[in-house]
Amino acid sequence: MNATLDKLDHAIDAEDFFALFELDYDPQVVRVNRLHILKKFALLKNEIDAGPGGLATDERYRRYRDALARAYATFLERTAHDERLFKVFQNPVPGVISIATLTGKQ
């Protein structure tokens, strides 16, 4: 497990992370949501790292693996716009009123 976690710093593509954690994925889902999956994974991983220290290597591996699986699963059910992980989705465009605002369905 320790060797696997050492490789984490060298993973570049989403596919690298899925291979590292031996998780199955739909290439089309990853192709469309690559950056969003990795961003969600990074946020979940940061929560794990900010938690109580002293996790055994195999426990840290399991939690990271679960975090990537959760990040991926998020985009099976939701869209990038729903998640609003990136600033472009968080800030309204000046002078533009969304249909959701007009209909009250935010």
What is the tens place of the pLDDT at every residue in 23-69? 999 999 999 899 889 999 999 999 999 988 888 989 999 999 999 99
What pLDDT is recorded for position 99?
Answer: 67
Question: Under the phi-then-psi rule, with left for phi > 0, alpha for psi from -120 to 50, and beta for the rest, what region is 17?
Answer: alpha
Give the pTM: 0.75
In the numeric block, the tokens 């050492």 are attached to 6
Q: How confident is the model at residue 95 (pLDDT cuts 50, 70, 90)?
A: low
In the predicted model, what is the mean pLDDT of the chain?
83
Question: What is the pLDDT at residue 18?
Answer: 96
Q: Are 77 and 33 in contact (CB under 8 A)?
A: no
Determine what percent of the chain is predicted with pLDDT higher than 90. Answer: 47
List all residues 6 or more positions away from 45 whose beta carbon is below 8 Å from its beta carbon: 64, 67
* Largest Cα–Cα separation, the chain: 53
